Amino acid sequence: MASTNVTIRMDKDLKKQADELFTVLGLSFSTAVGVFCRQAVMRGKIPFELSAEKPNAETLAAIDDVNNHRNLSKAYDDIDELMRDLNA
């Protein structure tokens, strides 16, 4: 099978970490990329789950408060009261 060259740009530290991992696994960087591509083609999708970054603890607590109808913030009836609290 004929081969071709592929050039990619990536963070230098990420490349170093990937090389170290692949070496432990007995693979070259090129072989690891080839494995990824073969799996993607064979499965017809990225061969692992992609997901968004998980929110931090503070954000999760705020989401929980909203989802459980616990409003921990103060409600204001007029802008002057709000401004007094903001400037306090």
pLDDT of residue 85: 87
Q: At residue 83, what are phi and psi to the nearest 5 degrees?
A: -65, -35
pTM, full prediction: 0.56
- Residue spans of the domains in the chain: they are 57-87
Q: At residue 69, what are phi and psi to the nearest 5 degrees?
A: 55, 35
Return per-residue pLDDT of the chain as tens, 88 residues.
Answer: 799 999 999 999 999 999 999 999 999 999 999 999 999 999 999 999 888 888 899 888 888 888 887 766 778 888 999 899 889 8
CB 69 within 8 A of CB 58: no
The whole-angstrom separation of Cα 4 and Cα 19 is 21
CB 48 within 8 A of CB 56: no
